[in-house]
Structure 1
Amino acid sequence: MSAKKKVSFGILLLFFFGAIIGYKIYNKPHVNVAQEKAAIVSTASKILEDFSSDETAANLKYLGKILQVNGVIAKIERVQSKCSITLETGAVFGAVLCTLTIEESAQKRALQLGQEIQLKGICTGFLMDVILVKCIILD
């Protein structure tokens, strides 16, 4: 086989395997936060403190995991069909921002500022605030 044919075959093989991997990742089932057990139970203040003191270690500990977070509601925002809840941390800068699922956002709950709340969601990282997505409110 000539060198051109080997290179062409190699590129074709890489493309084929790349397509298979991409298809598998795209069709990976989504995590149902309501049915999964929380990997870590903590407070909003502790999680923010961990990220503020050592972001690399906190990423290893929290990133991509389901967290159950206890805290006090500092802010409630509705954008279109989604609701976000910001939890107080006692820090001047930074909070824990929890974006509820669409189903959870649609439920009419009597949430009030200053209310103690428990949420469960997936930690996606730290950008001045700790971000949790696909959150549900625990009763």
Structure 2
Amino acid sequence: MKVKKIILGILILGIVGAIIGYKTYNKPHLNIVATKADFNISANKIIEEFSTDETTANSKYLEKIIAIKGIISDIKIEKEKGIITLKTNDDFASILCHLSEEATNKMSDLKVGESITIKGICTGYLMDVILVKSEF
């Protein structure tokens, strides 16, 4: 009798785990364009916040949708994904915006030196602030 209860419990846990895994795997992707930004900030201001107090900036910006306004300093494609770099007042830090597939397809219209606002999900700071799934 005790063995049957253990097997039944394992079976129920397995089914619940499978359902959670299925729902997580098939969760719809976040539409960055249609979603309102949690923060609107300049490239210089966000770099300043991260370089002054990275822990506080991480708690404020990490995994949030941020619209960053700045000047394009570099445009490139790596592994078929566009990357736009925004210039800051810090010579050693910038904003790296990894573009979505849709944004990559329309990045040919952009020019270095142009002012732009890019919206994406902040994934952290490693000498540069990193945005992913970015749109402009």
TM value normalised by structure 1: 0.84
Residue-by-residue CA offset, 1:10-46 (whole Å, 9 max, x unaligned):
3333322222111111111111111111111001122
After the TM superposition, which of the residue ranges 109-118 and 21-30 deviates more from structure 2? 109-118
Paired residues in the alignment total 136
In the alignment, the residues of structure 1 paired with residue 44 and residue 56 of structure 2 have an alpha-carbon distance, to the nearest angstrom, of 16
Quick check: 2:82–2:107 contact (8 Å CA) kept in 1?
A: no
SS of the aligned residue for 2:118 comes to strand
Percent identity among equivalent residues? 50
1:84 has 2:79 as partner: no
Quick check: 1:81–1:106 contact (8 Å CA) kept in 2?
A: no
- Structure 2 residue aligned with 1:116: 115
After the TM superposition, which of the residue ranges 70-79 and 100-109 deviates more from structure 2? 100-109
Matches within 5 A, 1:34-49: 34-49=33-48
In the alignment, the residues of structure 2 paired with residue 99 and residue 119 of structure 1 have an alpha-carbon distance, to the nearest angstrom, of 10
Deviation at 1:54, TM superposition (A): 2.5
Let me know the Cα RMSD of the aligned residues: 1.9
Return closer, same or farther for 1:48/1:11 CA change in 2, 3 Å cut-off.
farther
Structure 1: stretches of 5+ with no match in the other structure = none
In the alignment, the residues of structure 1 paired with residue 38 and residue 93 of structure 2 have an alpha-carbon distance, to the nearest angstrom, of 23
In the alignment, the residues of structure 1 paired with residue 15 and residue 52 of structure 2 have an alpha-carbon distance, to the nearest angstrom, of 44
In the alignment, the residues of structure 2 paired with residue 108 and residue 114 of structure 1 have an alpha-carbon distance, to the nearest angstrom, of 14
Quick check: 1:98–1:135 contact (8 Å CA) kept in 2?
A: yes
In the alignment, the residues of structure 1 paired with residue 14 and residue 47 of structure 2 have an alpha-carbon distance, to the nearest angstrom, of 42
